[in-house]
Structure 1
Amino acid sequence: MDIEQLQAFLHVANSKSFTRAAEKMNVVQSTITTRIQMLERHIGKDLFKRDKRNIGLTSAGRSFLPYAERIVDLSREGMKVTQLEQTFHDQLVIGTTHALWDYVIFAAIDDFQKSNSQISVRMITEHSSFIIRKMIDGLIDLGIVFYPAYHSNIESIPIIEDTYELVATPTFHLPDFPLTSKDLRTLPYIHLNWGGSFSDWIQQVFGNHYIFQLEVDHVSLLLKFLESNQGVGFLPHSIAKRLIETGEIISIPFMSDTPLPKRIIYMVNRKRNNNIDHLEQLISCIQRSF
């Protein structure tokens, strides 16, 4: 088994085509076919089920896929580390979600880089589970996630117990009294599912399987629809406070029989990290940003 065989396997798995995989790897199709056959012979099982129209993963192929991805990722990281020595003293890889990058952590990374120009910083945007998995594999140095990592080689540090705020744009007509859960059913409510305890709270308020008139999956979309629909929506306080300070949104007084939930944001990093000096400085910058 070699890296080229694994790369061929991943390209075919993603594209569901030997032809497209060959184009991606800049080889002829017969080369891809040979690499897959050699890999299947080495593993002792078929990885793909083939017919005239479709190519799909077998049960063995689905099981093997995440391991192949990790092996190729590790190989790629090894090459980068070797090449890094020619230009930078070190590299830090940081992972978190879109919302935290955009509205909380960006300034902290900017501050860190200004005083550490000799350090290469690579930023990864993904869900918490993906970030933790990559950290276990040694591919991420520091992650900001929404739940702790339960692994012997990873340390989870609570940064903040975050709350949620009901928000709208400044042109929203602010009522003389706090809004309630019932008002969310009559106002243009734009829903962004923050997961975890927030999902549980929404289910208690709206009931199971409630379909919202408008649901988004990104803060920037939420802000656009708040403005165009003159509606309301929920943001974590860590994100809302910066937008309130800049005057982009306002906080709406809100009361609920079921109290709004809280959630802890965690900083996770690998124990015995070789980049410890620079990592501690970066951690300080991020903690200040919260």
Structure 2
Amino acid sequence: MDIDLLKTFLEVYRTRHFGRTAENLYLTQSAVSARIRLLEETLGVPLFTRTRNDIQLTPAGARLLKYAESILNAWNRARQDTALGEEDKVSLAIGASYSLWDILLQDWTHALYRELPGVALQAEALGPEVLIRRLHDRALDIGFMFEPPQMAELQVREIAQIKLIMVADRPGLGAREAVGSGYIMADWGTSFAIAHARHFPDMPPPAVRMSLGRMAQSFLLSNGGATYLAEQMANESLQSGRLHRVDDAPVIDRQVYAVYPLASERKTLLEQVLGFLAPRLAVREPARAVSALSAL
């Protein structure tokens, strides 16, 4: 099957519009329609229902979706590995949830590139569901996240702990006052939300909700209020006096995990990479495997 047919199928699914798909893929709209028609003829089923302003997957299209993504991920990975040619290099695909790049992993990948010249690095910031799916499909070698999956084929290893602290734009603010007005609720994952609700059971609805810590920080610096940030993110603004710690607010700890396929053929490289990472993070020693399966 032509890989371009699956690319077009996925782009139509994402945009729900043949015209926008044509623009994104640098095709004519008739070419997009022809590709979808050919894919439907090849599979023998309709993949989309088409009305004037509403394009939806059929049940068959929904079933194809996960396979199309897996096939394209595998193809892209194979293409990357093949492109290394005869050089003595090995590819390493790393994924992490969005917030972790800012907090922990950005500088580490820079150092990894410098210190391990035999590694061809591919790095992505992904949402948690996509991250887990790509690990499962072997499109990623290793992923970093707050809340790891419990899947028998994936190894989970705790590598670091992040302290989330409440900060505000004004000094001397108490936690009860901080969450009472102008509070910015940053999304640090389900475990954080549970801990936050336990510490502040009677707080009013937050003034603003932000899906990323970096967004919450920017909003706080521009508009005032209070929010929880990773200590590493807040340090510069705390030192400059632009932000102030809410001293009586509890610190909420978040564990960071490395997740990778249990039967990875790159086990030796992953050991080297995680060993390179450990001294650069606030790692609990010794780092422990939290899966019930064998440790790395």
Query: Under TM normalisation by the shorter chain, which class is it?
Result: 0.7 to 0.9
Within 2, Cα distance between the matches of 1:17 and 1:224? 33
Q: What is the 5 A alignment of 1:1-290? A: 1-86=1-86, 89-168=89-168, 172-174=170-172, 179-180=174-175, 182-204=176-198, 205-206=200-201, 211-237=205-231, 239-240=233-234, 249-255=243-249, 261-288=252-279, 289-290=281-282
Contact 1:103 1:242 in 2 (8 A): no
Within 2, Cα distance between the matches of 1:123 and 1:284? 18
Within 2, Cα distance between the matches of 1:16 and 1:216? 26
Amino acid at match of 1:269: Y
The normalised TM-score by structure 2 is 0.80
Aligned residue for 2:172, secondary structure, equals coil
Partner of residue 294, structure 2: none
Aligned residue for 1:76, secondary structure, equals helix
Distance 1:220 1:34, change over 3 A: closer
Aligned residue for 2:8, secondary structure, equals helix
Contact 2:165 2:252 in 1 (8 A): no
- CA displacement at 1:114 relative to structure 2: 1.6
Amino acid at match of 2:186: L
Contact 2:94 2:142 in 1 (8 A): yes
Aligned residue for 2:13, secondary structure, equals helix
Q: CA RMSD in A?
A: 3.0
Runs (5+) with no aligned partner, structure 1? none
Contact 2:168 2:178 in 1 (8 A): no
Aligned residue for 2:81, secondary structure, equals helix
Aligned length: 280
Q: Which string of whole-angstrom CA distances, capped at 9 and with x for unpartnered residues, describes residues 100-128 of structure 1?
A: 11121222222222211232111110123
The normalised TM-score by structure 1 is 0.81
Runs (5+) with no aligned partner, structure 2? 283-296
Contact 1:165 1:235 in 2 (8 A): yes
* Bigger Cα displacement from structure 2, 46-55 vs 118-127: 46-55
Contact 1:90 1:275 in 2 (8 A): no
